[in-house]
Amino acid sequence: METAGLIGLAAALSITVSTIVPGWSQGKATSKAMEAIGRQPEAAGDIRTTLIVALAFMEALTIYGLLIAILLLGKI
Protein backbone atom coordinates (compact mmCIF):
# COMPACT_ATOMS: atom_id res chain seq x y z
CA MET A 1 0.00 0.00 0.00
CA GLU A 2 1.35 3.40 -0.87
CA THR A 3 2.00 6.19 1.65
CA ALA A 4 -0.92 8.36 0.51
CA GLY A 5 -3.31 5.48 1.11
CA LEU A 6 -1.98 4.94 4.62
CA ILE A 7 -2.24 8.63 5.42
CA GLY A 8 -5.81 8.70 4.14
CA LEU A 9 -6.66 5.65 6.26
CA ALA A 10 -5.08 7.29 9.32
CA ALA A 11 -7.11 10.46 8.74
CA ALA A 12 -10.34 8.46 8.41
CA LEU A 13 -9.57 6.51 11.57
CA SER A 14 -8.76 9.74 13.42
CA ILE A 15 -12.12 11.27 12.51
CA THR A 16 -14.01 8.05 13.28
CA VAL A 17 -12.55 7.53 16.74
CA SER A 18 -12.63 11.20 17.68
CA THR A 19 -16.34 11.50 16.89
CA ILE A 20 -17.75 8.19 18.09
CA VAL A 21 -16.07 8.02 21.49
CA PRO A 22 -16.76 11.61 22.65
CA GLY A 23 -20.29 11.37 21.26
CA TRP A 24 -20.96 8.24 23.29
CA SER A 25 -19.35 9.83 26.35
CA GLN A 26 -21.44 12.99 26.02
CA GLY A 27 -24.63 10.94 25.90
CA LYS A 28 -23.60 8.92 28.94
CA ALA A 29 -22.59 12.03 30.92
CA THR A 30 -25.82 13.84 30.05
CA SER A 31 -27.88 10.81 31.02
CA LYS A 32 -26.18 10.54 34.39
CA ALA A 33 -26.53 14.28 34.99
CA MET A 34 -30.27 14.13 34.30
CA GLU A 35 -30.57 11.19 36.71
CA ALA A 36 -28.69 13.18 39.35
CA ILE A 37 -30.92 16.23 38.84
CA GLY A 38 -33.95 13.97 39.13
CA ARG A 39 -32.68 12.62 42.47
CA GLN A 40 -31.57 16.00 43.85
CA PRO A 41 -33.35 18.90 42.12
CA GLU A 42 -31.84 21.39 44.58
CA ALA A 43 -28.36 20.63 43.20
CA ALA A 44 -29.40 21.20 39.57
CA GLY A 45 -27.30 24.38 39.18
CA ASP A 46 -24.07 22.73 40.32
CA ILE A 47 -24.72 19.59 38.29
CA ARG A 48 -25.52 21.63 35.17
CA THR A 49 -22.36 23.72 35.50
CA THR A 50 -20.18 20.64 35.93
CA LEU A 51 -21.91 18.96 32.98
CA ILE A 52 -21.32 21.91 30.67
CA VAL A 53 -17.61 22.03 31.55
CA ALA A 54 -17.27 18.27 31.02
CA LEU A 55 -19.10 18.45 27.68
CA ALA A 56 -16.77 21.24 26.55
CA PHE A 57 -13.72 19.10 27.31
CA MET A 58 -15.24 16.15 25.44
CA GLU A 59 -16.01 18.36 22.45
CA ALA A 60 -12.39 19.57 22.47
CA LEU A 61 -11.30 15.97 21.88
CA THR A 62 -13.44 15.87 18.75
CA ILE A 63 -11.91 19.11 17.50
CA TYR A 64 -8.39 17.75 18.13
CA GLY A 65 -9.24 14.66 16.07
CA LEU A 66 -10.48 16.87 13.24
CA LEU A 67 -7.27 18.92 13.42
CA ILE A 68 -5.13 15.79 13.23
CA ALA A 69 -7.10 14.54 10.22
CA ILE A 70 -6.71 17.88 8.44
CA LEU A 71 -2.97 17.89 9.13
CA LEU A 72 -2.67 14.34 7.85
CA LEU A 73 -4.61 15.12 4.68
CA GLY A 74 -2.32 18.11 4.11
CA LYS A 75 0.56 15.64 3.71
CA ILE A 76 -1.07 13.83 0.77
Query: 52, 26 in Cβ contact below 8 A?
Result: no
Tell me how many domains the chain contains. Answer: 1
Average pLDDT of span 58-76: 91
pLDDT of residue 32: 97
pLDDT at 1 over 80: no
CATH of the domain at 50: 1.20.20.10
Ramachandran sector of residue 40 (left: φ over 0; alpha: ψ -120 to 50; beta: rest):
beta
Question: What pLDDT sits at residue 3?
Answer: 87
The pTM of the full predicted model, rounded to 2 decimals, is 0.78
Range of the domain at 36: 3-73
Q: Average pLDDT in the 48-56 region?
A: 96
